[in-house]
Structures are given as C-alpha cells and as structure tokens.
Amino acid sequence: MSFVPAPHPPEFRRRAVDLARLGDKPVSVVAKELSISESCLRNWMAQADADTGATDSRLSSADRRELAELRKEKRRLEIENEILKRAAAYFARENVLPK
C-alpha cells in the first residue's frame, strides 16, 4: 500500500511561491527548506502565473474546475442521448410490427 500525502493548503502554496519569487535563494533551496520537491514548487509557480493571467500556456484553477464540470455534464448528456436513441428505436419497432 502506497502512502499519498495530503495536499498542501492554498495559503502554504501561496507563501512558498512568494518565497521562491523573492529571489534571495534558488528555487531548489526554497523547496528543500519547505520539504517539497523542486518540481512541485515550480508547478505551483507556473499555476500561480496562470491564475493571475501572467502566462497563456496553462489553464487557471477556475478554468480547470469549469472544464472538469463541463466534461462531467458532456458525459451525462451523451448517456442520456444514447438512452433516448435506444428508446426511439424500440418504439419505432413496436409501431412497425403487426399486432
């Protein structure tokens, strides 16, 4: 069984990004002091840039949430559409066959 650490709170992430951006220490040192990986901190920095509109290469957190909701809704509608197609085919057969 593998251990999955709990996600860090948003305030911790914001403070970590702020510390890394001060430029007093390299990102790798800041990450090590906070007991997180350098790649994790760099991901948080990139996400913070996307959230503030500083870069166009990533989706903001709000856009990610909306995208996830839209994908769920799309899947639900596809299932409903398939059910309706099958029901229409069933009732079409019922009306064509002699009684």
- Tell me what pLDDT residue 13 has: 92
> Which sign does the torsion angle of CA 50, 52, 55, 60 carry?
positive
Give residue-wise pLDDT tens across range 7-46: 889 899 999 999 999 988 999 999 999 999 999 999 999 8
Give residue-wise pLDDT tens across range 38-87: 999 999 998 888 888 776 667 778 888 999 999 999 999 999 999 999 99
Q: CATH code for 7-58?
A: 1.10.10.10
41 class by beta-carbon count within 10 Å (0-12 exposed, 13-18 middle, 19+ buried) = buried
Q: Which residues make Cβ contacts (< 8 Å) with residue 34, sequence separation at least 6?
A: 16, 19, 41
pTM of the model: 0.55
